Structure 1
Amino acid sequence: MTYAHHKISDRTNILDGYLGAVVDRLQGIFRGRLVGVYPAGSLAFDAYQPGRSDVDLLAVAEQPTADEIAAVVAALDHAALPCPATGLELVLYDRATLAGLSTEAGFALNLNTGAELPYKAETAPGDGLSFWYPIDRDMVRQQRRALIGPPFADLVPRVRSRVLLPVVAESVAAQMAHLGEHGDNAVLNACRALRYHAERTWLPKRAAAAWAVRHLPGEAAVIQAALDSHAVGRDAGRSPDRAAATEFLTRVHALLTTT
């Protein structure tokens, strides 16, 4: 079965050719067994920011083989298909595995490639952090957007908020240990986590930050600083006020785990 390509939004037309090429290469590898390709991250929320955002995609195939996974890595490598964004983060799932996932990582391939991303091509999470995978799946499920394929919600079960909330809290705690690596992202992700805790739905980072300022006006300074550096570029995010960011994330983590 084949599906028509869909643009993400008028604001990301610069990416349309790249996204189409990614889909075409995946279709060429899996042929009729590519189920769908779905925008994640900023693309899913029409919040893509040139110079800062990655291209985040989830792909689903029927029973991808080791040879096919290797072919995906080769075909989408930045050297073979240059990414016009800061990088490509692609997570590939086997359809049958995806249908049984809750908060597990569960991927067949996690690929990071691009001019500003540390390269990664892994087929199992190992000792790596796994909380992003169920969080990203829940966002993609909520947003109901596809480059090709059926609604993502048809492929993955809903994870109840009471099950996902501990994972969200874990993500905030983990980011406190890595504030030197895009600390502004950590603050904005914490705003998004807080909004999910309160409303059980996801917002893009900047909208979540605005929501957090309204509900925690005493934290406006640290949130605004994160917004300002996030608007400049990736390098700016590596020099946050660590004390202020740590204090904010500590408070958010406490709210996530005690209420």
Structure 2
Amino acid sequence: MSDTQRCLQRLKYNYQKILGDNLVGIYLHGSYVMGGYNENVSDLDYLVIVKTPLSFLIKRQLMAITIEKLWPLAPAKGLEFHVLLLPNVKHFRQPMPFDFHFSKMHFQHYQKDPTDYIKSMKGTDPDLAAHITIINHFGRVLVGRPVYQIFDKVPQKIYWQSIIFDIENAKTTIISQPVYVILNLCRALAYKKDRLITSKLSGGQWGLKHLDSQSGSLIQQALTEYTRHRLKSTFSASTDELNIFATKMITKLDL
């Protein structure tokens, strides 16, 4: 059994134990359900749906279990989850509010001041429109009722807005995160042109088939890097090449 499978077993058992009757379900999304998952380079994404908001005590217990029991088994980029209320996902609203959230980028904040983190981590996230769309098309139920009984459909316009939000700084972030941005731009264009909902991996593969050879060379390098079994990057492209690609894609996306 892989570390990820053990992590999911612990996740299912411990979250059910902590949340009890308030838990509606736990739903997996992201690369794990879309064919691009690799323990050495991925994160593990899931939504936790509950009936009523969580107390501070329950959130503290949830974080303790997540860090102590799940994190040691997590993939290289960690775990990312949102806690959402059932009424909100059954009747979609944008921006989607969340009751609690955690990801690797918040790890230091939590470690430094757990109380402040737990009290402050509540709000809205436009990315949730994309997460729920992925769940509606590819999601897996870890525990709970079927997806179609829980999640409302996300309007195409709102899903498109969430895609734009994710790539709005592409011209600058492509320099520091070339693989992520290149594949995300391909994923965005695949949706705009063909209404395809894709992962970064399948978005890049779409780009190889539909874009010019100069772009294809950069995309192929990004795909090769993305599917490598290590975190240390060997990606190499000049700033000019990256700027040209980003500008070209933004133009095609009419942004």
Could you tell me the TM-score, scaled by structure 2's length? 0.83
Structure-1 residue corresponding to 2:26: 37
Structure-1 residue corresponding to 2:219: 223
CA offsets 1:190-218 (integer angstroms, 9 cap, x no match): 11111122232312222221111111123
CA offsets 1:155-197 (integer angstroms, 9 cap, x no match): 2221221232133123212343333543201111111111122
Cα distance in structure 2, aligned partners of 1:109 and 1:239: 38
Residues 243 and 17 of structure 1: is their aligned pair in 2 closer, same or farther, counting only changes over 3 Å?
same
Give RMSD over aligned pairs. 2.7
Cα distance in structure 2, aligned partners of 1:16 and 1:251: 41
Cα distance in structure 2, aligned partners of 1:237 and 1:62: 45
Structure-2 residue corresponding to 1:163: 158
Which 5+ residue runs of structure 1 have no aligned equivalent? 1-11
Q: Indicate conservation of the 8 Å contact 1:180/1:240, yes or no.
A: no
Aligned length, in residue pairs: 243
Q: Indicate conservation of the 8 Å contact 1:112/1:119, yes or no.
A: no
Cα distance in structure 1, aligned partners of 2:73 and 2:181: 24
Structure-1 residue corresponding to 2:113: none
* Structure with higher helix content: 2
Cα distance in structure 1, aligned partners of 2:178 and 2:48: 28
Q: CA deviation at 1:149?
A: 1.6
Q: 1:103 aligns with which of 78, 94, 110?
A: 94
Q: Indicate conservation of the 8 Å contact 1:184/1:237, yes or no.
A: no
Q: 1:191 aligns with which of 186, 189, 196?
A: 186
Pair 1:134 & 2:129 matched: yes
Matched letter for residue 134 of structure 1? A
Which 5+ residue runs of structure 2 have no aligned equivalent? 111-116
Q: 1:202 aligns with which of 169, 194, 197?
A: 197
Residues 239 and 217 of structure 1: is their aligned pair in 2 closer, same or farther, counting only changes over 3 Å?
closer
- After TM superposition, the structure 1 = structure 2 runs for residues 63-74 of structure 1, keeping only pairs within 5 Å, are 63-66=52-55, 67-74=57-64
Structure-1 residue corresponding to 2:252: 255
Q: Indicate conservation of the 8 Å contact 2:129/2:158, yes or no.
A: no
User: Structure 1 vs Structure 2: percent identity of aligned residues?
Assistant: 19
Structure-2 residue corresponding to 1:4: none
Cα distance in structure 2, aligned partners of 1:17 and 1:69: 22
Cα distance in structure 2, aligned partners of 1:245 and 1:152: 39
Could you tell me the TM-score, scaled by structure 1's length? 0.81
Residues 236 and 106 of structure 1: is their aligned pair in 2 closer, same or farther, counting only changes over 3 Å?
same
